[in-house]
Structure 1
C-alpha cells in the first residue's frame, strides 16, 4: 500500500515572493531533461518549484521523499505510483515488476516504465522529486541515471535537494540536458530583498536599509540568517549608516567574512580557516589537519546553523563549504599565514592519499603545483586509476608535468602508454614503446641506479606488445609474448597477472578452445580483484559470461555477470564519471534475458551500447554489439532491424577483419533465420549454397552455421539432408558440453523426424530437448522455432519434463501456427513514389495509425512489443520520406496507399 499523501504537491504560499527569473529558468526547452534545484534548508527551493508547477501545462507527478525511500524497490514503487497519480496509464505491470523482480533486475522494470512513458508521449509530463537528499543508495542513483538517459522528450524531471545528487550531471550538462538553480542563484536580488522584508515579513525598510542588508549578504538568504543569528543586535535596525560604500566583489567577500568571523568564537573561527583548503570535509580529515578530536561536533553544529556548510549525505559524515565562502576563507589564510596554509594543505593531501581519495589529492597537488609529488603519486596510483576508467584524466595530469618529466621516467612513460592504449590511441603507442625501450637500454648500459627497476618494465612492454599483436590479428606473436610474460611474472613487482591471464583467455577464445579460455578468464577475474583492476575484471568476467551462456550454462553465466557487476559497483563507484561498461558482459546479459523472454530487461543492457556504436568502438566489439542487437530484434519479430544490424556488422567485419582477434558468431546464419521467418526461401537457399566453403575456428560458430543449414533444408522440403547435417552434431555438442546447441540440435532433429512422418520419434527427441531446456530456463529457443515445433510442444505431456516449465513455455507460444508464419497474406505494397515497398506489417501499422491508435494501443492490437511498433513506424517514415504521423497519413493518401 502506497501512502498517497507523498504524491501531493505542497500548496504554494500566495504571499510568497514571485521570482520570474528563476521560474523562466525552470521552464521546458528543447533537449532539456532535468532541472536541478540544490540548496541548504531555508533557501525556498520547494516554494519556487511549487510556484513553477502552477504555471505548467500537462501532467504533474510529484513525489515527496523521506528517509524510508532509500531502498531501490520502495523508491521505484513510489516513483511509479507518482506517475499513476498523474494519470499515466498502463503501469500495472511495472508496479508488479518493481514488487517482484530481483534487485539486479530492477533496470528491466525501469525499461518497462520508460516504454509506458513513451506510449503516453502525446502528453507533456513533469516529474518532481522533492527532498532528493533523503536518497543516497548508489544503486538508486545508477538506476535514476538510466531513467534520465532514456526518457522520452516529453518528460522532464525536477530534482529538489539539500545536497548534490550522485548523478553524472557534468555529462548531461555537456549535452545541454540540465538547467541548474544553485544557492547563489536562489539568492535574492536587491529588489527581491526589499520586497521580502516589506511584503512578506511586514518589516518596513527603506531602500537604503534594504540595500545595506543586501550588500552585506550579497542576497544570500543563509548569510542573512547567519547575520541575524550571529550579531548581538538586529541587523535590520542598524540603519543605512552601517551600509558599506560601493567596493569590489573581493572586498565584499572580505567584509562579510570579517563580520562573520568576528561573531564566532575563537574555536569556530580557527576551524573555518584551518579547513578552508579542503574541497570536501569529514571529521577524520579535519581532526588530522587540526591535530584535534572534536571536528565531528563542530561540523554538526555548523551544519545546524547553515554556516555555508552543505551536507553531502544524510549521515552528517561528509560536507563541503559553499564555494565562494571557502574561497574567501582560503584567500584570508593565504594573506595572513601562507606558511601555515602550505602545512595544512600538505596534511590534507597525506590524509587523502592514505584514505584512497587519490583524485582529490591530485587536485590539491595541481593547485599547489607540486609537480614532483604529483609524479610520485601517478607512479604509485596511476595504473589503478587507468583500470578504473580514468585513462583520459591520467593523460591530462601527465601533460601537466614539466617538459621531459615523463620521457625521462620509465614508470611514467609506461603509464602514458597504458593510458593511450585504453583510450584506443593505438597509433601513439608503438613509437612510445620504442622510445621507452631505448631509455631502458641506456639505463642498463650506464648502470643507472634504477636499472633494476627499469628491467622490471620489460614484462609490461611485452604484455603491451602482445595486445598490439592481437589488434593486428598476429595471434602467434601475441601468444608467444604472453607466455613469456607469464614466465616472468613472479620476478616482477608489477601487478600484471590479471591482464596477462585476460590476454591468454582471449587467445584461447580466438582459437576456439573454450574450456581453456574459461579457466584463464576465471584466473584473470580472481587476480584482477586482488590487484584492484576493475576494467580487467569487467572485461574478463564479461567474456567469461559470454562463453558460459553460449555453451548453454544460463544460470552460471548470469551469476558470473551479476557478481562481477556487484564487485565493480562496490569498489569503483564514481557518479561523476561514466559507468564502467563491458561490451562482453552487456551482450551476455542481453542474450541471457532475451533467452528467458525478459525482453525489456535485455533492452536495458543494449541501450548503453548503442552510444558506443555511434561514437566509435573497437571493431570486434562493434560486431558483437550489432549481433546481440540483431538477435534481440529477431526475437521481437523486427526482422528488418535485425537484418540492418547484421549488414552493418558484416560491413565492419569485411573492412576491419585484420583488427578483430576473435571469430564473431555467424552473422549470415542469423540473417538466414530472418529470411526463413519472412518466408524468403530463395534468399535462404542462396545462403545455403554459398556456405560450403566457409571454415570456422570456433566450434560454436561452426555448430550455429550447421544447425541453421538444417532449418533451411527442412523449410525447402529436404528433411533427410537436414538429419545428415544434424547427426554428427548430436555427438560433438554433447561431448564438448555445448548444451545450448545440443538443445537446438535435438529440437531441429525432432522437426525433421516429424517432417518424415515419424511423430513418435520426433516426440522422443523433443522430450530430451525440453528436459535439458528446463534445467537452464530456455524459452525463446523453442518459441523461435517453426510452427511444427510449436505443435509438437503443445502435444507433449511427458512426465519427465517439469510441468511448471512446460506450462510456462506453452503460454509463450503463439496461439496459432499462423501467427509465427511470415506475413504473406497481403505481400509487399509497391506503389510509384515509394522509396521501397511497404511490408504487410507496415501496412497494418499504417492503418492503425489512420484509426487514431497510440503506439501502446497499436502494440496491443498487433500483440507485439512497443519497441517493435516503433521500429515499424521508423521504417514507414523512411519509406514514405516523412517525419511525423500527420505527414505519413497525408503522403500515404496522396500515393493511394490509404483511401
Structure 2
C-alpha cells in the first residue's frame, strides 16, 4: 500500500517565522542622516489617528518612519511593525500577520492572540470583524500609547484588506495611532481625517533633501570633498531624490575623475536611477556583482539563504560586507541576521539579472524554494516555486502539507495556499483534491467539497493506492452527507474503511468511526455509538491532529446525554474541549464545536452562566458549523437561555439567524428544533395564534429518512401538543404526548422521554388533572435528580412548578410516594441565583457608552449595526463586553444596572 506524504507536525501550518523580520522595524542604518527638519515638524503637532508617508521608491519613507517611531518608543510608546508582502493582499494572511505583529509587542496577551489566530481559520467575514475588534480591545487595555506601523502599504490592493484598515481607523481606542508608508497615496478617507485633525501626511515634496540636507549627506556623512556649487548642482540634478544622492555618493567614491562626473551629470538622463545604478554596479568587483544579482530574487535574506543562492559558504560575511559598503542593504533585526535590499536597488538588480543572464532567475527561485521548504516555510517555498515558473513543484509542496493542515484545523490556510496556484493545478492530483474536499467540508462548504470529490474520482490512478483512495473518497462523501444531516447511505460509504482499519490511514478510519457513531446516534443505537468510539480511541490517538479525536469525543458525549449519563457525557465533552484547546487553540473550529455541547450539558445541570458563556463563544461568530447537533445548541439552546434571562430580542435574533442557516443549507432538523423553541417562547408570552402558525410550518419526517426523520416528527408532534394544550384542547395534547413517550421509551431515548414526561405533567396540570400530573412528574423526578439535570424540570414552566410545589408539601407531610426524593431535594429544583449578583461595575469605553445610550432608547442589534457601520456580530461582541463589565445577562439588565450606577441618566 502507498500512502501520500504527510507533514509529521503542524510546523508548516503556521506562518513563516523566519519572516519574523517583517514584524520588526529595520534596524539603525549608519549611512543615513537624521531627518531633523521633518522630525521637528512631527514633534510640534499631535500625532493624531493616522500618519501617512507616501512617495515613489527611494525617497526615504521607511527611514523617516523608523526615526519617528524610535523617538516615540523612547517616550514609552509601544510600536507593532508589519512589513507588508504581496501575500498580504489576501485578507486571511493580512489579518494573521497583523495579529502576529501585535503578539511581538504584547507578550502578556499571547494566549488571547493565539485564540484570534485560530479564529481566523474559520474564514468568515464576521470572524474578521470580531478579530479586529478583539485586537483593538487588547490595545485599548494597554497602559501606554500604541502604534500600528504598516510598511509598503502600496503592495495591498484587496478591498477587504482596505476595509480592515478602515475598521482599525474608525474604532481605534484613544491610545492607538497608525503609521503607513506607501509608494502611492492610499485609498483612505484622508480628507475626513484631516478635517478632524487626525491626519499627518508627508509626501515626496516634503521628503526631498533640501540643500542643507544634501550637503550633510554628501560631505559630512559620506566624506566627499565637494564645494557648495558641486553640492548645489547634484542636489538640483537629483531634485533632492534621496536614493539618487546615495548612488551619486557611491559613484563619486569610486570615480577616477569626480569633477568630470559632476560636470557631466544632469537630470536629463532617461532615468537618473538607472544611470547611477549602472555606474555603481559597473565599478564593483565581479564577485560582489554576481552575489548581488543572485540574491536579488528574495525579498528577505539571511546568511544561509544568500549562500545557497550565490553558491558560497560565507553568505553571512558577504551580507555584512555589502552593508559596510552602503550597497542599499538594510538589516531587519538588531542581530543582523535578516536583511533586505532597498526596493529601488533590488528592482534594478532584477532587471539586470534578466537582461544579462536570461533564465538564471528561474534557477535561483528554485534554490530559494528548496531552502524555504527545507526550513518548513511552506508559503515562501510555494511563492518562489511559482515565481520560477515551476507550478508542479509549488503544487507538490501544497499537496505534501495539505492533510496535516486539515488535521490541525488549518483549513483556511490550506485553501489560501491553493488559491496561489493556477485554477487547474489540482485537477490531476487526487491527494490534493481529497484534502481540499476535506477542508471545504469541514468549513461547511458542501458545494465546493462535492466539486472536489467529483473532480477527484476521474483523476484516481489504478495503482496500489487506488482502493484506499476510493475508500477515503467514500468517507469524505459520507462526511458531506452527515454535515447535510443525511444518513441514508453514510454507513455503507464508511464500511470498507472500518473493515480495513489496520491498513488505512488513521485519519480516514477515525473519521469513518465518527460517521458511524453519528449514524448510530440518529438510529437510536446509543450503546453502539459509544462502543464505536471506545474502539476508535487508539486510532484517534494515531492521527496527526486533534480534529477526528475531538469529533469522536463529541459524538460519544451526545450518545451519553441521550441516555442521561451525564457523568459519562462530561468526561467525553470536557475531554474534547481540552484536547481541542491544547492542540488547535481555544478559538479553533474544533474547540468551539466541543464547547457548544459542553454548554448544553451545563444547561441541563442548571449552570446557566457557564452554559451561556460556552454557547456564546460558538454562536457570536456564527454557529453554522459542524453537524446539526452543534447548531441546535448554538442557536436554539442559547436562544432559550437568553429568553429565560429576559433578553427576548436577543433570543429572537438567534432563532432568526438559525432559520436562515437552516434554509440556506437545507437542514429540516435544525428548522424543526428552532421552530420548537420559537413556539415554546411564544406560548410563554401568551401568543398562541402565532405559535400555531409556526407549528403549521414545521417540516415532517418525510423530508429526511431514517432516525433523523423520526426526530423531526418527534419535534413536530411535541410542538403541536404544546399548542393544543395552550388552546385548551387537552385530550388531544395529552394523547399525543403519551404516544410520543411510549415511542421514545421504546427507542431508548432516555433524555427525550424525560423532557416529554415533564411536558406531559404540565399539560395535565393545565387540564386540571392534578393527580395525573403528580403521578407523571413523580415517576421521573428521581431520574432527573439522579442524573443531575434539574433544568429539564425547570423548563416545564409554571404548571410544572405548581405540581412540584404540591409534591414538596406532601413530602414534608409524609404523604408523598416513598420513591420521591426528599422534600429539600425537591424544593431545590427551582432554586437559582440572579445573574450578575455582586458583580463590580467597571468603566466603559467611549464606543460602549455610545451603544449603551442606544440600548436605552430601544435600538435593535440591526439598528445598532447600521448606525455604527459594523456587522451584527461585531455589535454582539460589544454587547458581550458591556454585559460582562456591568454583570448583566441581557440588554434590559444592562440598562437597569447602568441607571442604578449613574452610567445612564
The residue aligned with 2:65 is 44
1:564 shift after superposition: 1.2
1:44 shift after superposition: 3.1
Q: Distance in 2 between matches of 1:262 and 1:149?
A: 52
| Structure 1 residues 707 and 510: alpha-carbon distance in aligned structure 2, compared to 1, 3 A threshold | same
The residue aligned with 1:358 is 378
Q: Distance in 2 between matches of 1:579 and 1:339?
A: 44
1:479 shift after superposition: 1.2
| Structure 1 residues 841 and 545: alpha-carbon distance in aligned structure 2, compared to 1, 3 A threshold | farther
Q: Name which of 637, 644, 649 aligns with 2:646.
A: 637
1:370 shift after superposition: 1.9
SS at match of 1:277: coil
**CA contact 1:132–1:159 (8 Å) conserved in 2:** no
Q: Name which of 519, 522, 531 aligns with 1:507.
A: 519
1:638 shift after superposition: 0.3
1:754 shift after superposition: 3.3
Superposed CA offset, 1:650-682 (max 9, x none): 67658866665x998686358636854x58799
- Does residue 560 of structure 1 match 2:576? yes
Matches within 5 A, 1:2-21: 16=39, 18=41
Q: Name which of 162, 167, 178 aligns with 1:173.
A: 162
**CA contact 1:498–1:524 (8 Å) conserved in 2:** yes
Superposed CA offset, 1:252-294 (max 9, x none): 6645655776798888766544433334445554454455565
Q: Distance in 2 between matches of 1:341 and 1:489?
A: 48
Q: Distance in 2 between matches of 1:713 and 1:720?
A: 9
Superposed CA offset, 1:703-746 (max 9, x none): 345446656777998775554444454566688x6767689799
Matches within 5 A, 1:642-661: 642-646=651-655, 649=658
Superposed CA offset, 1:799-833 (max 9, x none): xxxxxxxxxx6896799xxxxxxxxxxxxxxxxxx
1:351 shift after superposition: 2.8
Q: Name which of 132, 151, 160 aligns with 2:148.
A: 160
| Structure 1 residues 27 and 746: alpha-carbon distance in aligned structure 2, compared to 1, 3 A threshold | closer
| Structure 1 residues 470 and 864: alpha-carbon distance in aligned structure 2, compared to 1, 3 A threshold | closer
The residue aligned with 2:723 is 686
Q: Distance in 2 between matches of 1:213 and 1:561?
A: 63
Matches within 5 A, 1:103-252: 134-135=105-106, 139=111, 141-142=113-114, 146=130, 148-149=132-133, 159-161=147-149, 172-175=161-164, 176-177=166-167, 181-182=180-181, 184=183, 189-195=204-210, 197=212, 209-212=234-237, 217-218=242-243, 232=253, 241=263, 245-246=267-268
The residue aligned with 1:65 is 78
Q: Distance in 2 between matches of 1:266 and 1:758?
A: 103
The residue aligned with 2:463 is 451
**CA contact 2:251–2:280 (8 Å) conserved in 1:** yes
Q: Distance in 1 between matches of 2:283 and 2:599?
A: 61
- Does residue 330 of structure 1 match 2:367? no
The residue aligned with 2:707 is none
Q: Distance in 2 between matches of 1:858 and 1:342?
A: 56
Superposed CA offset, 1:44-77 (max 9, x none): 35748999x9xxxxxxxx972389x9xxxxxxxx
The residue aligned with 1:797 is none
Q: Distance in 2 between matches of 1:766 and 1:498?
A: 48
The residue aligned with 1:668 is 676
Q: Name which of 391, 403, 408 aligns with 1:371.
A: 391
**CA contact 2:754–2:780 (8 Å) conserved in 1:** yes
Q: Distance in 2 between matches of 1:130 and 1:382?
A: 26
Q: Distance in 2 between matches of 1:172 and 1:547?
A: 43
Q: Distance in 1 between matches of 2:521 and 2:76?
A: 50
The residue aligned with 1:755 is 806
| Structure 1 residues 713 and 281: alpha-carbon distance in aligned structure 2, compared to 1, 3 A threshold | farther
Matches within 5 A, 1:340-359: 340-359=360-379
Query: Structure 2 unaligned runs (5+)?
Result: 1-34, 53-59, 82-99, 118-129, 170-178, 185-200, 221-227, 692-718, 727-732, 840-854, 860-877, 898-903
| Structure 1 residues 420 and 556: alpha-carbon distance in aligned structure 2, compared to 1, 3 A threshold | closer
**CA contact 1:703–1:729 (8 Å) conserved in 2:** yes
SS at match of 1:567: helix
1:367 shift after superposition: 1.9
**CA contact 2:369–2:381 (8 Å) conserved in 1:** yes
Superposed CA offset, 1:775-817 (max 9, x none): xxxxxxx8xx75xx35xxxxxxxxxxxxxxxxxx6896799xx
Matches within 5 A, 1:292-311: 295=315
**CA contact 1:719–1:753 (8 Å) conserved in 2:** no
Structure having greater relative contact order (Cα 8 Å, sep ≥ 6): 2
**CA contact 2:837–2:887 (8 Å) conserved in 1:** no
SS at match of 1:159: strand
Query: Structure 1 unaligned runs (5+)?
Result: 1-11, 30-38, 54-61, 70-128, 444-449, 571-577, 771-781, 791-808, 816-838, 844-853, 874-885, 890-899
Q: Distance in 1 between matches of 2:542 and 2:324?
A: 42
Q: Distance in 1 between matches of 2:281 and 2:802?
A: 86
1:568 shift after superposition: 1.6
Matches within 5 A, 1:603-752: 605-606=617-618, 608-610=620-622, 622-634=631-643, 636-646=645-655, 649=658, 668=676, 672=680, 676=684, 686=723, 692=737, 699-707=750-758, 710=761, 721-730=772-781, 752=803
The residue aligned with 2:711 is none
Superposed CA offset, 1:293-318 (max 9, x none): 65556668889999766777887666
| Structure 1 residues 420 and 65: alpha-carbon distance in aligned structure 2, compared to 1, 3 A threshold | closer
1:462 shift after superposition: 2.0
1:478 shift after superposition: 0.7
Matches within 5 A, 1:555-594: 557-558=573-574, 560-569=576-585, 580=589, 584-588=593-597
1:753 shift after superposition: 4.3
Q: Distance in 1 between matches of 2:373 and 2:885?
A: 61
The residue aligned with 2:482 is 470
Q: Distance in 2 between matches of 1:413 and 1:858?
A: 45
Q: Distance in 1 between matches of 2:674 and 2:656?
A: 12
| Structure 1 residues 265 and 741: alpha-carbon distance in aligned structure 2, compared to 1, 3 A threshold | farther
1:134 shift after superposition: 3.3
**CA contact 1:276–1:330 (8 Å) conserved in 2:** yes
Please say which of residues 547-556 and 346-355 is displaced more in the overlay. Answer: 547-556
1:189 shift after superposition: 1.4
1:483 shift after superposition: 2.1
Q: Distance in 1 between matches of 2:204 and 2:158?
A: 27
Q: Distance in 2 between matches of 1:147 and 1:469?
A: 31
| Structure 1 residues 150 and 482: alpha-carbon distance in aligned structure 2, compared to 1, 3 A threshold | same
| Structure 1 residues 585 and 263: alpha-carbon distance in aligned structure 2, compared to 1, 3 A threshold | farther
| Structure 1 residues 535 and 559: alpha-carbon distance in aligned structure 2, compared to 1, 3 A threshold | closer
Q: Distance in 2 between matches of 1:523 and 1:299?
A: 58
SS at match of 1:356: coil
The residue aligned with 1:805 is none
Q: Distance in 2 between matches of 1:321 and 1:524?
A: 54
1:496 shift after superposition: 1.7
The residue aligned with 2:869 is none
**CA contact 1:273–1:333 (8 Å) conserved in 2:** yes
1:336 shift after superposition: 3.3
**CA contact 1:280–1:319 (8 Å) conserved in 2:** yes
**CA contact 2:835–2:887 (8 Å) conserved in 1:** no
